[in-house]
Structure 1
Amino acid sequence: MTKQTFDQFTEELWVTAVQVATVWTSPSSPREVDKPGITNPTDIDNWVSHLSYEATVALSDENRIQTQTLYGEAVMITETKDDWAHVVVPTQASVKDERGYPGWMPLSQLKKIKKQDWQRAESAAVTSRHAWLESEDGEHIMKLSYMTMLPVESKTNNRIKVNTPHGFHFLRKSDVTVFRSEQGLPKRQGNELLKAGEPYLGLDYFWGGMSSFGYDCSGFVYAMHKANGYQIPRDAGDQAASVEKVPYDQLEPGDLIFFAYEEGKGRLHHVGFYYGHGKMLHSPQTGRGIELIELKGTKYEKELCAATRYWQQAEG
């Protein structure tokens, strides 16, 4: 369940202070072309749109990016080195570190806050593709991603006052869902995961992407589960290993299907949603957008290696 709880933190915590923060493999991983992604504020639209195909492929081939965090998402700092912080992301489970997904972030993209200021009875989750964080007089401050979550301070007729790393600001009610922080977003059935993902058809793949500015394959299925009340592991390999397997003849819409090299016998390399009727909804690879395809006759048909189900029928 996607709960907004911070029990694992002390009286202070560090939160992401930019629209989307990239978690890098090392402080030397970003290149000159990546500057819009490591500043504060970031300009993710500008960064992604100006990367060449080759520069984008290099993010994965040269092992530069690990994952991303969204505005207000909490991290634990384990080490600092010059202007960089080594962090783990507790909301993103990984075999790489039992505390959360590890990597490096610019210190300038993090803000230390008091935990008591961040804990509220209700939280607001962005349910539009993007939402503008606004000042009191309606000025646009920051373009936020889908599934950004912030503590609710109060509500008006058409806006929600939220606490942010930059103080109190506002979100349009039409862009968010408000939920009880301790309960989390409601758990829904598998077809709702697909409905959440369909608006992103055509969105360009982005390695390490965890936002509606660009998802990778496992980031896409992670975000759609998050939107429907399920917190699943970050990476495809962990997603395949964390719950019981589903037999292929019992697949239902919303289940996850996994693919491995060497016709399913080699290294696992991809995940997508089973859509029903032999189709898959997935974020495929650099240079292609999120798509709905027939599995029959594709490389994926031969590479299918596992299936899992995180959604729960009984709680739909």
Structure 2
Amino acid sequence: MRRVFLFALTALAAVASAEKVVVGRLGRAKTAAQIYAAPSAKAKVLSRVKAGVNLVVKKEGSNWLTVVMTDHRLAYIPAQTVEVLPYEYVEDRSQAVVKQTRNTRSTYVASRGGVPRGTTDARYQLAEYAQKFEGTTPYKWGGNEIGSGIDCSGFVKKMYGAIGVSLPRTAAEQARVGMKITRYEDLRPGDRLYFWDAKRGKIGHTGIYVGGGYFTHSSSGHNGIAKDFLSARWQKICVDARR
């Protein structure tokens, strides 16, 4: 089954926005649920979401909600599985904005990842490029090759090498190279994240931030290259970020 993932939204940084178009309301999955091509449980399943995933709700109904997919198609999810929040999803040409409708002082940007329209920034291109390898390569400690096996720092080194940037081999060494990012709200697609390994007492894992609160990495837990949400668990052990 070909999966088309929904917009994943995270409040990251305050912004001012012009020429905004309201796409819908922000919703959050209360339970794991399936996304259908039509408002029927017998319709084709387009995707599945876990509890806590944010969605863009285009239209509300008593039994079904119409949601917006990343390719802008409309799809349907059972209404009882989603909590519709008091936020609007606002979009312009280059960014996605979530605006709190009950408090106009709070406006947030949420990147969708990949290369924004009109940009040639190599880091955005790197974030887009790195995601193409998700699910293609197994995790291998000390591995350096896409396809046969690669570890976390090998993956980051390989991706940065694709844009002409040479990085050290290990995560701990890489964390000493580049401009330091000190706030989560300053993260941009293509930035490198570094995580603490308590058992070894040093930085032991790394990944590439791709936007929207997500990062891609070669993970032993996933047995390969995969995307994860930068949840509280990951933030707790994220001790460095570099650009």
Give TM-score, length-normalised by structure 1: 0.36
Higher-helix-fraction structure: 1
Give TM-score, length-normalised by structure 2: 0.46
